[in-house]
DNA sequence: TCCATGACTCCGC
DNA sequence: CGCGGAGCCATGG
């Protein structure tokens, strides 16, 4: 299945505020287990404001590392911003990591288009 | 077509 | 529980 990015955005757009998903979760849900890094790349490809090519505001902050930390590579200012955005929508941090037991979104509710 | 690039993961120590 | 290394694979030049 080519064009993974658009599908990544479609799924991320379905993540409810206050919940998070790991890059690997997204890849797996799209039938591409192991393509976690590509999901991260798709996020990095988003323009300012998290807008995709269709102008949709993708809630990129809801995708984090499977360990619960927010990814720190690339733009050093994104990390703190991501954490702030998540806390504003109710996601609580235990130290520097999200408690995945409580905030990881249950993919069973997804309706893939 | 080949090759470098990544906002990743898993596993062993 | 932290670190380092190998594995993974879609994209774009």
What are the pLDDT tens digits along chain A (113 aa)?
558 999 999 999 999 999 999 999 999 999 999 999 999 999 999 988 899 988 999 999 999 999 999 999 888 889 999 999 999 999 999 999 999 999 999 998 787 76
How do the domains of chain A map onto residue ranges? 4-103
Q: Check residue A109 and give its pLDDT.
A: 78
Structure letter (DSSP) for residue A94? E
Q: Check residue A74 and give its pLDDT.
A: 80
Which tokens belong to A63?
Answer: 């995708």
Which tokens belong to A34?
Answer: 């192991």
Give dist(CA A59, CA A72) in Å, integer.
17
- Within window 37-76 on A, which residues have Cβ closer than 7 Å to strand C? 37-38, 41-42, 45
3-state secondary structure of A57: strand
Separation between the CA of A73 and the C1’ of B13 (whole angstroms): 25
Neighbours of A113 (CB within 10 A): 7
Give dist(CA A88, CA A66) in Å, integer.
21
- Pairing assessment for the beta strands A93-94 and A97-98 based on DSSP bridges: antiparallel
Which tokens belong to A107?
Answer: 């993919």
Topology (CATH) of A4-103:
Arc Repressor Mutant, subunit A (1.10.10)
**Tokens 């849900």, located at residue:** A29
Q: Check residue A106 and give its pLDDT.
A: 92
Separation between the CA of A95 and the C1’ of B3 (whole angstroms): 40
């Amino acid at each position: 299945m080519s064009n993974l990015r658009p599908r990544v955005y479609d799924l991320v757009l379905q993540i409810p505020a206050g919940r998070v998903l790991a890059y690997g979760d997204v890849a797996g849900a799209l039938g591409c287990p192991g393509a976690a890094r590509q999901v991260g790349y798709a996020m990095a490809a988003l323009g300012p404001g998290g807008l995709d090519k269709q102008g949709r505001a993708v809630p990129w902050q809801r995708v984090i590392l499977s360990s619960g930390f927010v990814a720190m590579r690339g733009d050093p200012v994104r990390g703190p911003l991501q954490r702030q955005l998540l806390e504003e929508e109710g996601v609580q941090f235990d130290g520097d990591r999200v408690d995945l037991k409580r905030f990881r979104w249950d993919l069973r509710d997804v309706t893939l288009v």
